[in-house]
A and B are shown apart, each in its own frame.
Chain A
């Protein structure tokens, strides 16, 4: 019996092996190599001069690198908070409505997922056109509504650029949250909801006392997905405000900072591959630690509730 079990364990290794090899070759090795690069500097294509922690010191403490870095960091946090709010709250409310058995809910469920299937670059371009001050339809709608005084250079203003970009991202991935939440709500035992209704629970107390606690793990998963997505987000910034994070770096986040510093020539805002690798390493550590903390937080909440 024991021997047989041992044999079975060894067999498992063979199942894991293909994925492990691919994962090691295409993920682990490049990640470790990129971390190694962050300790090097040099003008060439591959940095070859060992500089120890210099790149990190520069990044955290030397003007203008620290300014760009902290700016990207705080922008990224703002971006994450905005996207989480838009996407979670709207996605959740939409999901609650869609699971109420309204007439078009099956159709609406499908419809809400369509933006997610589009390319981020396409979505970015589309919204750049919508908000374009010369031809943009958004300003024209405001004009028709007589709200001309509200018109601003949406994507050219430091105050509005980032909120608009996060709205666009939320618009695109809003369907994903709906899918998660509807699945979570569908899984709630109907008897429990019925019992609550018989006890006289209203719409909001139903949401607050039954739906929300039951799908808290889903909220956790969605938030973690948004967290990972936002702290590695690059495409939407690139499409809507170039890799410079225009205007004046107000939409610059980790992804665009990394792309610009690592892959551009100094003439166009690059800092060399070594510095780029340092930015990438910090992004990695941040996302890694962040996901860990989120998991702990949501697990605690769940065990408290159950």
Chain B
């Protein structure tokens, strides 16, 4: 009998100890908010931004705990499911975010942050339910284009190309002089699709209108306009470095960032990465995707990348709401765009960016036909998704296994198995 009593006492003490250790409250009566994202490279920068918030709100501690990009979706799902998720979470645009909203675990933000009504409609649309519930603050947009090493361009007196023909002749000049033209590899499919096809291809398949037509089923990827985009982009393959089939994304960045290649077809999110590798705004330049003929209107892929939402089961909802409200303010947008040049906030307001690369990227939007990645919206909601089909098709095209027409047909064949416009 006594033994049982002692055992019960021990157990009780243990349980009490565990429950006291949990709860997420700091000793001094402050509230701890956990903020997760898929950008592990941003820890220091985000901590600096969050410090500003914490200085203004001394009762809240914001902890930024990113997860590796490729694991983010799985971890977010299982952590939300098991109730151990962060309070504030990064959400992907369109269907991936919507899928999480559908589980009812995100807080609708329409009333929490009234200022969201003034955000651009295209950005809100990427994180809205069909019933117009907004479940994330449209947080970050990214653009795509071509980076170049100024020193290498100067060495051969090359000018920034405006048209595709000029672009190809720049490649030829560099190649003839023995330079590595592009720091591009085809080991991973997503850069080929997100950056090369959506970024540089939009000018050839017909931009936003073509994307809308594709979604509506009015055109197919096997139609001449899209096949031509595949064909045109395939012209870059001879300028890829030796062994490009085995070069992964990180190696690509390292190659260009350390000045071992003249050009890099990339996204605006890479400004910071290149800077850390020693290629800052004075070493490298940026030009938007080359158009077909001089004077053509640029089709500019300005993709909706990340939104931030609130975990409705968070124990610190009030603090989370205060953070989200601050994250929708112009003050935050300015801070954020300065800390992370190349990530563009959708918060209405006028901003001045000190990074010239970011400035060039945002300047190109003026007068451009703004679009997003080709098969991202709706066409990637189920499997096989347009996105993964594009990865497969483009790897095979650049590795010489499929012709451009076969690559286009591969994507269409996969989409035809489930997509009904």
Using CB atoms and an 8 Å cutoff, list the residues of chain A in contact with chain B: 43-46, 62-65, 128, 131-135, 139, 151-157, 241-244, 246-249, 261, 263-272, 275
- Asked if residues A267 and B243 are in contact (CB atoms below 8 Å), the reply is no
- Asked if residues B382 and A266 are in contact (CB atoms below 8 Å), the reply is yes
- Asked if residues A155 and B99 are in contact (CB atoms below 8 Å), the reply is no
* A44 and B78 alpha carbons, distance in the complex (Å): 11
* A269 and B384 alpha carbons, distance in the complex (Å): 7
The interface-forming segment of B12-20, B341-349, B387-395 is B387-395
- Asked if residues A46 and B81 are in contact (CB atoms below 8 Å), the reply is yes
Residues of B within 8 A of A263 (CB): 73-74, 77-78
Q: Return the CB mask of B251-271 against A: 1 if under 8 Å, else 0.
A: 100110000100000000000
- Asked if residues B243 and A134 are in contact (CB atoms below 8 Å), the reply is yes
Contacts A132-B251, A248-B401, A268-B388: A153 and B74 contacting too (C-beta < 8 A)?
no
- Asked if residues B246 and A45 are in contact (CB atoms below 8 Å), the reply is no
Contacts A247-B399, A265-B92, A267-B96: A156 and B383 contacting too (C-beta < 8 A)?
no
The interface-forming segment of B124-132, B182-190, B205-213, B318-326 is B182-190
Please pick, from A133, A155, A247, A264, the residue contacting B73 in the complex, using a CB distance under 8 A: A264
- Asked if residues A133 and B247 are in contact (CB atoms below 8 Å), the reply is yes
Closest chain B residue, CB of each to CB of A241: B187
11 contacts between A and B (CB under 8 A): A44-B99, A156-B399, A242-B248, A243-B70, A247-B246, A247-B399, A248-B401, A265-B96, A267-B95, A268-B385, A272-B383
- Asked if residues B188 and A134 are in contact (CB atoms below 8 Å), the reply is no
Residues of B within 8 A of A266 (CB): 95-96, 380-383, 385
* A270 and B76 alpha carbons, distance in the complex (Å): 14
B80 at the interface (CB under 8 A from A): yes
Closest chain B residue, CB of each to CB of A259: B74
- Asked if residues A246 and B102 are in contact (CB atoms below 8 Å), the reply is no
* A290 and B413 alpha carbons, distance in the complex (Å): 36
Contacts A247-B245, A265-B92, A271-B383: A45 and B395 contacting too (C-beta < 8 A)?
no
B216 nearest CB across to chain A (Å)? 20
Closest chain B residue, CB of each to CB of A133: B243
Residues of B within 8 A of A261 (CB): 383
- Asked if residues B245 and A156 are in contact (CB atoms below 8 Å), the reply is yes
* A208 and B245 alpha carbons, distance in the complex (Å): 44
* A163 and B81 alpha carbons, distance in the complex (Å): 39
Closest chain A residue, CB of each to CB of B245: A156
B104 nearest CB across to chain A (Å)? 9
Residues of A within 8 A of B255 (CB): 134
Residues of A within 8 A of B399 (CB): 156, 247-248
* A112 and B353 alpha carbons, distance in the complex (Å): 57
B396 at the interface (CB under 8 A from A): yes
- Asked if residues A268 and B387 are in contact (CB atoms below 8 Å), the reply is yes
Residues of A within 8 A of B78 (CB): 45, 263
B354 at the interface (CB under 8 A from A): no
Closest chain A residue, CB of each to CB of B382: A266
Residues of A within 8 A of B153 (CB): none
Query: Which of B78, B243, B414 has its CB near the most chain A CB atoms (within 10 A)?
Result: B243
- Asked if residues B187 and A155 are in contact (CB atoms below 8 Å), the reply is yes
* A153 and B96 alpha carbons, distance in the complex (Å): 34
* A152 and B190 alpha carbons, distance in the complex (Å): 23
B280 at the interface (CB under 8 A from A): no
- Asked if residues A64 and B80 are in contact (CB atoms below 8 Å), the reply is no
Residues of A within 8 A of B413 (CB): 63
Residues of A within 8 A of B243 (CB): 133-134, 139, 151-153, 156
Please pick, from A139, A265, A269, A271, the residue contacting B99 in the complex, using a CB distance under 8 A: A265
B103 at the interface (CB under 8 A from A): yes
B241 at the interface (CB under 8 A from A): yes
- Asked if residues A269 and B385 are in contact (CB atoms below 8 Å), the reply is yes
B376 at the interface (CB under 8 A from A): yes
- Asked if residues B186 and A267 are in contact (CB atoms below 8 Å), the reply is no
